[in-house]
Structures are given as structure tokens and as C-alpha cells.
Amino acid sequence: MENLLVELFVEELPPKALKKLGEAFSAAIADSLKAQGLALADAATTPFASPRRLAVHVAGVAVQAEDKPVSHKLMPVSVGLDATGQATPALLKRLAALGLNESIVPNLKRAGEGKNEALFFDSMAKGATLAEGLQKALDEALPKLPIPKVMSYQLHENCERPGWSTVNFVRPVHGLVALHGTEVVPVSVLGLTAGRATQGHRFEAVVSPVILRNADSYAAQMESEGAVIASFAARRAEIERQLHDAAAKIGGGAKPVEDDALLDEVTALVERPNVLLGCFGQEFLGVPQECLILTMKANQKYFPLLDLTGKLSNQFLIVSNITPDDPSAVIGGNERVVRPRLADAKFFFDQDRKKTLDSRVAKLGNVVYHNKLGTQLERVQRIRKLAGEIARHLNSDAEKTERAAWLAKADLLTDMVGEFPELQGIMGQYYALHDGEAPEVAHAIEAHYHPRFAGDTLPVDNIGAATSLADKLDTLVGIYGIGLVPTGDKDPFGLRRHALGVLRILIEKQMPLDLVSLLQLSKAQFPGEVVAESVVVDVHGFMLERLKNYLRDKHFEAGEIEAVVSQNPTRIDLVIPRLEAVREFGRLPEAAALASANKRIQNILKKTDAPSGSADLALMQEAAERDLLAVVNQLAPQVTALLQNEDYTGALTQLAGARQAVDSFFDSVMVMADEPLIRNNRLALLKSLGDLMNQVADISKLAS
């Protein structure tokens, strides 16, 4: 058993894909070796990934896997043997295909019974050698990597037929290393034969090529001789350390912008990180900092520096791939490059403010939202009406809400948002404040996109919340209503995200709004038969499925969620209080028995048409049914009062008092009596009991 190192040396890999490529390459090689018995199931695996290499280190890999028993199913006994027990021609042919002859027939094993009895041949399969197993692992792993776009290229000059053979990979591969301990494993891939030589840093390697001594010296040799931190995780940690150290040297509480995606991308761009400090002119700080931060991150991959209050400074951090003795040329070059980017942002900002948002709204009529749903202007008109109605239901300022909705999409026509779509809403807020709009209106323009992703903040006030709800509901009803339903992983219009956003606003801001009524209001804004007649029911069901996922993330049990959500709730703000009540009810000693009784009641009522009206005491023959009726009549007003006060825990606790009467009823009363009047009366009693018990949740879902 020795440790194994495999490396592909390639041209610069796509930075946004590098992390996943490294993890996938490592996992695929290790999993294949484990599956073939060449590595232990718990063998330690270390991935490596840099801009010019994918590699993996697997601990404890055998030269050859152990032999293992294999059982070959041949055919049914009735087909393989004749009446005298001799092999049939069919069996002899099958044996010949396996390289066996008739002499093996007496040693064949039988398994199964009757018609299912079959003949089996047991043998020992020779374990794969490491060369065979690693070759198989490479051949299977490379085509399955999450490559964003495959590149076709001709094999280079070191191959057997340079210029004649074409291969496919994410980038041209120029080297293959495969070391088992100190020995090279004879494998080949993409026209390359494995060796022990690789290349280090393009400019700063101490030696070239780097000749690897053994599988375990890879990381150390790459760093000391190749000037490369090969591990993605180690390189990322080093960049993060240097960023914070550089910020600490500046003092004053300076800190780099936190952005995991940017950190991953920069880690994928450098092999030997060196963090440097740059700056830009103070005059650019008059531009909204979101614009400056975005252009520095997106275009230049810099880390802007913020002060203690989160305000942008005119300094930024550069992650360089070289470490010169005098870094001034590198810093100066980056400062010259960033200046025109910031100048563009300033120009866009200055130009955009020459027109008011209100003056831009009419031009939204030239922008198609969807060919079946009209223009952005028509959409804005729908959102404005819906947002105003929501604001009135919330006793909020409908006039300001409608104003915010009217202006919410106007910044889509600005130069800044045209250049940076990520700033929509943010720029609308700045431009609205510049135009003299009320602060609440301006903030609602930005807030109406929230929540934009899982864990994002919600609109702060009701004006923003109403505008956000209207925007998301219009998208849900419109897009879903024309049949563009999300399927699998495909959700191009973000309907799942919009649904979760609506649910979060209703729940987390405790808004007393009826979801079905909101959907009906939204549907009413669409003319004629643009959206499907069933869209309200369909979208409500779609949103309840998203609600289940949301509640699971809140650590509610599946049975608790089903008990509440199966009742198709429309007051979403009351779902969590109901769930908490169900959870408390489930802890009561009477809960299991009442849940089982409720399930039994529902099963009985499903099999027959329950009569309308109340049970008649005069038709009751058994004491147990009279006692149950008394309990139902006693509990009904108490439970109703508690429900009116939204005291769901109290209501379910009260219902626990019915357990003894319910148990006695089912122990001594035959519900399906022969006499129709008696039977219907008992069914009416059970229906009254079931209705009473299920007002908070369907507690039968709690039954095991």
C-alpha cells in the first residue's frame, strides 16, 4: 500500500468553474479506485486545483486489488438441463462463451425454488492492477467532469501523431503525472503518457520542470520549487489572510468587502497570491458606492476597502499572481486600469440624473415583458393597482405605495442599470431621492426586489412590502398563468424564488393577508383570458409546496407540516403559530390516541356520505354516544373562542379533554348500525367531532 498522486497539467482553466472541477476530479478518481478495491472505503483524499492543474492525492492505494468471488447466473434449470439432468445445447453454448466446457456442469450451483430455480457458476475474479484501475478511473472521470464548455484541440508535438489526432477537454492538457509512492504508474490519457515531471509557476518557478520525488512530496515541492500553492483551499486561506493583514496595516478599522464568490474566483486566477494596496481619486466617491464596488469586483476582481461604518474608501486590494521586489509597477498599472472603469460609472451616474424616473416610465411601453403578457409599462400598471390594494388592506399609505410601484421599473432604462443589471432597484432609489421623491417611496423602489435570494433581507416598511408582494405576485400569476411552469431544475423566471419571497414576507413580517385573495386580486389585473382560469388554485398549490420546504428548514417535523399545510391554509402568517400549537399538542399524553381516533373518523366518513346537520340526542341509544355529544357541545364554544383569539395551543389543549369520551365511544358503540336513522345520527356526531378537532390542523396526520 502506497499513496497515489495524479495530476493533469493544463492551460489556464475557467476560474468560475475551477473549484467544482477540482472537487469533481478528485472525487471521481478516488471513488473509482475505492469501487475497484484498490483503495479503502475511508481512504483520505486531498484535492488540488490551481489555474493550471487538477490533481488528487489518495492515501493507501494497493498495487493490485484482492481477488473476489463472482457468481454468474447462467439460465433457469428447466432450460439448462434436460429431463435426465444432462446439459442442453443452450447451456453448453453459454458455458463456451465463458471459456468453460461440459465438465463443469456437475459443479454448477442451483438457487431459487420451482420455476425460479436457476443455475449459477461461481468463480474468483482476479483483482485489477493499479495500472488497469487508474486507467479506468481516468477514462471514466474526464468525460463526467462539470465542464462548462468543451474545447477541441489537436495533440501537441510530444504525442505520437501530432496534429493528426483531436481530443476534447475543458482546456488543452500538456502533462500527466501518476505516482504510486515513488513509482510512475503506466497510464495515458488525452494523448499523454504519465511521468513524474510537471511545471510550476509560469514566471516564478525556482526550477523547471519540477521533478516530483514521490506522491507525498507534491504539495511541498510545488510550493518550494514551483512557487505554486497547489491546494485550492490552502491558497484561498492564504489570500484571505493577506487581505485582512493588509487591511489591518492601513488601520482605522478598514476591512475588505466580504464576497465568497469573488474570493473563490480570485483563488482560481492565481497560483502564488500576493496582495497589494491600490487607490483611486477621491472625486469618484461621489458616485453611489454600490456602483464603484460592483465595477471593481466584477471587472477588475479587486477587493474594495470599507471603513468601520461600511462606507467605501478610495483604497482597494489587488491579488497579484507575481511577487516582484518593487511592486510599484504592478500597483500603478492596476490603478491606471481601474480609473476609466470608475470614470464610466461616474459618467453614467451624472447622465442618468439629467432625466427623472417619472419621465422614463412612459418609455417602458417600448420594452416587451413577455409577448403574451404585454410590455413593462402594462406590467407596472398592474403592479401599481395591486400594490395599492395591498397597502389599503394593511392600513398603509396607498398613495406612496402606488407611487413607488409606478417608478419601480423606471431605472431599467438608465445607463447605469444597462451596464450593471445587478444594480436595478438600488439605482432607482438613488435617482428617486435625487428627483425629490419621498424617502419612503425611494426606499420601496429598492426594497421591492427583496428578498432576492435565500436569507436576504425583507422590505423594512409596509410600503416596500406591499410593492414587493405586488411585483412577485404579478410574476407568479402571469408567468404561471400562461403555462410556463418550472420543471426539474429549470426555472428561468425564478418562480420558486418569487414564491418563497412572498411566503417569507407574509410569515416573517406577520402580515394578516389572505394569500388566495391576493392571487385573485393579481389575476383580476390581467385582461380577458390572458392567464388560465385555474391560475389561482394552481399557484396556491405551487406556493404551498414551497412552504413545506421553508418549514422543513425551520426544523418542523414532516407530520406537523402535513397536519397544517394539508388544510390548504390561506392565512400564511398563521401557519407557524398553528405548527407550534401542533407541536405542543403532540407532547400531550392524549395526543397519540386522539390522532388515531381522528384518523379512524376520517376513514369512516370517507366510506359513506356523512349527513348534514347536528346529531340528535333523542336518537342516541348508548350512554357513550350521549357522553360524547355532551363533550362536543361543551368544547365547541370554548374552542371557537380560543380560535377567534388565535390561541391555537389553547384550542388543541382543550380538545385533549375529549380523549376519554372518544375512547369510550369507539369501545362500546357500533357506528355502522343496521338502522339507518341510528347510523346517520352516529355519523353526524363523528363529523361534528372531526370538524371540531381539525380546525387548527388535521391531527390525523400525527398518527403513526
Per-residue pLDDT tens digits for 267-297: 999 999 999 999 999 999 999 999 999 999 9
For residue 164, pLDDT beyond 80: no
**7: helix, strand or coil:** strand
Per-residue model confidence (pLDDT) at position 98: 84
Q: Which residues contact 590 (CB under 8 A, 6 or more apart)?
A: 656, 657, 659
Tell me: the pLDDT tens digits for 19-74?
A: 999 999 999 999 999 999 999 999 999 999 999 999 999 999 999 988 888 888 88
pLDDT of residue 111: 87
Please provide the DSSP assignment of 362-419 as one string: GGGGGSEEETTTEEHHHHHHHHHHHHHHHHHHTT--HHHHHHHHHHTTGGGGSHHHHH
Return the CATH architecture of domain 358-555.
Answer: Orthogonal Bundle (1.10)
Assess whether pLDDT exceeds 70 at residue 519. yes
Q: What is the pLDDT of residue 373?
A: 95
- Looking at residue 535, its pLDDT comes to 96
Output the nine-digit C-alpha cell for 589. Answer: 399524553
What's residue 126's pLDDT? 83
DSSP string, 523-551: HHTS-TTSS-TTHHHHHHHHHHHHHHHHH
Looking at residue 598, its pLDDT comes to: 86
Residue tagged 444432462 (cell numbers): 86
Return the domain boundaries, the chain.
2-65+129-224, 70-125, 232-352, 358-555, 576-702
The whole-angstrom separation of Cα 393 and Cα 387 is: 10
Q: Does residue 263 register a pLDDT over 60?
A: yes
Quickly state the pLDDT bin for 155 (edges 50, 70, 90). Answer: confident
DSSP E strand stretches across 266-376: 274-279, 303-306, 312-320, 368-370, 374-375
- What tens digit of pLDDT does each residue of 561-600 get? 999 999 999 999 999 999 999 999 888 888 888 888 888 8
Cell numbers at 503, concatenated: 411566503
Which DSSP category does 129 fall into? Answer: B
At 604, is the pLDDT very low, low, confident or very high (cuts 50, 70, 90)? confident
Instruction: Report the mean per-residue pLDDT for the chain.
Output: 93
User: Residue 162 — pLDDT band, cuts 50, 70, 90?
Assistant: low
Distance between CA atoms of residues 276 and 271, nearest Å: 15
Domain 576-702, CATH class in plain words:
mainly alpha
Confidence of residue 160 (pLDDT cuts 50, 70, 90): low
157 confidence band (pLDDT: 50, 70, 90):
low
Ranking 359-363, 513-517, 602-606, 681-685 by mean pLDDT, the lowest is 602-606
Q: How confident is the model at residue 590, as a pLDDT?
A: 87
Give the pLDDT mean for 246-271. 95
pLDDT of 163 > 70? The answer is no
Instruction: Kindly report the CATH number that applies to the domain delimited by 2-65+129-224.
Output: 3.30.70
When pLDDT is cut at 50, 70 and 90, the band that residue 139 belongs to is very high
Q: Please say if the pLDDT value at position 704 is more than 80.
A: no
Report, as an integer, the average pLDDT of 235-257: 95
pLDDT class for 322, splitting at 50, 70, 90?
A: very high
Average the pLDDT over 192-212 and give the result.
Answer: 96
Q: Would you state the pLDDT for residue 156? A: 60
- pLDDT at residue 196 is higher than 90: yes
Cell of 179: 505516482
546: left (phi over 0), alpha (psi -120 to 50) or beta: alpha
Residues of the chain with pLDDT > 70, as a percent, come to: 99
Among 122-126, 132-136, 285-289, 687-691, whose mean pLDDT is lowest? Answer: 122-126
Residue 161's pLDDT band (boundaries 50, 70, 90)? low
**Which range (517-526, 542-551, 636-645) has the least confidence?**
636-645
- Write the pLDDT tens digit of every residue in 297-319: 999 999 999 999 999 999 999 99
Give the count of beta carbons closer than 10 Å to the beta carbon of residue 559: 15
- For residue 361, which of 430, 407, 399 has the smallest C-alpha distance? 407
